[in-house]
Amino acid sequence: MFICKEQYFTSLLLSLSPELVEFIAADIDSPADLLNLALTCKALHDIIVPFHLHFRKLSLNVSKTPLALWSGIIVKPRLASRFHTVHARNSRDEQGDFYPPILVQEGEAYLVRTVTSPPRDHVLCDAISRLTGLVKFNYTTPKWIIKSQMLWTLSMSCPQIQEVILHHIKDVLTSNITPPEIQCHKN
């Protein structure tokens, strides 16, 4: 019986423990490569599509993002750690938001069980600290989040971070900071 190269690698990958398959999938940056791997067989599809493919880039409008999303990130740190890129803005445009609905559902369930809701800035910084797999972070900050707080959270929580871009609303200054320079710079 002849087995083609793709079938051999797929069967070899599936012979590994689920934890190792998770680590391998988590290390693939390209969504196209993830999708190609997911299309090789149903078993990989069932791991990659719901738990990796939708957890690479988080793109959202902060002013319209439900508090439940941030809470979902807090209560599901394992899923949150799979995001590599965050592009957040605070604008009135209707530009496409993209975030996994499962995080909103988990956050809503958590908020129902919570008696009091902490201040939004605390929830946001706590959620960002759970995004431990971040490589790129581009954020238009509202006035209630200060640069130094955001930079400290990223530098302490995201060991793989390579690029941080912070824009302040109503501020012409932009900080483009890359490691090892993660500290607050004045332009």
Under DSSP, the state recorded for 98 is: B
Tens-binned pLDDT, residue by residue, of the chain (187 aa)? 455 555 555 677 778 887 888 888 888 878 889 889 888 888 888 888 888 888 888 888 877 788 899 899 999 998 899 899 998 887 666 666 778 888 888 888 888 888 777 777 788 889 999 999 999 999 876 655 667 788 889 999 999 999 998 877 664 444 555 554 444 443 3
Residue 162 · residue 178 · CB < 8 Å: yes
Q: Per the confidence metrics, is the pTM higher than 0.85?
A: no
Mark out the alpha helices in 114-146 (DSSP H runs): 120-129
Query: Tokens 């600290």, residue?
Result: 129
